[in-house]
């Protein structure tokens, strides 16, 4: 029989009773630098910097940041994104609305600012 005794920072300690002896088992649980697909509570835990949830009812998991031309989110209220932010060097172009800010649905598209500047200069 195992009973959870203590969960503190990145360790979990449990007790196992065998006959008259009590054994304490301590396990280290990684809470930072999580790989894609691992469960997360905040983007700071993820190696790639995005803790993503597909819907309000799904579990959040670490995911890659959005690539160019993919949907993105610039801001998150709780550290969990419905759309991941853009990869480094890209910007998320979003038309913000009050409702979208409240409901966390202000999504945009990842763009390369250098390419956008080049296109604007040509016109």
Cα torsion 92, 97, 98, 104: sign: negative
Task: Note whether residue 94 is domain-resident.
Answer: yes
Measured in degrees and rounded to the nearest 5, phi and psi for residue 49 equal 80, 20
The answer to the question of residue 46 being in a domain is: no
In a domain, 41, yes or no: no
Sheet harboring 11-18: ordered strands across?
Answer: 2-8, 11-18, 21-28
Q: Place 7 in a pLDDT band, splitting at 50, 70 and 90.
A: very low
For residue range 72-120, list pLDDT tens digits in order. Answer: 988 777 889 999 999 999 999 887 778 777 776 789 999 999 886 655 5
Domain with 20, as residue range(s), is 1-30
CATH code, domain carrying 105: 2.10.80.10
* Residue 55 domain-assigned (yes or no): no
Say if pTM beats, i.e. exceeds, 0.75. Answer: no
Find the Cα–Cα–Cα–Cα dihedral 29, 30, 31, 34, rounded to 10°. -140
Segment 37-79, tens digit of pLDDT: 999 999 999 999 999 998 888 999 999 999 999 999 887 778 8
The count of domains in the chain is 2
């Amino acid at each position: 029989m195992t009973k959870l005794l203590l969960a503190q920072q990145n360790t979990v300690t449990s007790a196992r009773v065998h006959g008259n002896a009590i054994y304490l088992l301590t396990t280290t649980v990684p809470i930072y630098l999580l790989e894609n697909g691992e469960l997360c509570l905040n983007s700071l835990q993820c190696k790639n910097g995005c803790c993503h949830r597909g819907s309000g009812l799904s579990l959040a998991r670490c995911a890659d940041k959005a690539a160019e031309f993919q949907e993105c989110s610039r801001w998150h209220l709780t550290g969990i994104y419905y759309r991941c932010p853009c990869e480094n060097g890209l910007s998320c172009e979003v038309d913000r609305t009050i409702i979208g800010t409240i409901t966390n649905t202000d999504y945009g598209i990842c763009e390369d600012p250098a390419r956008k500047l080049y296109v604007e200069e040509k016109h």
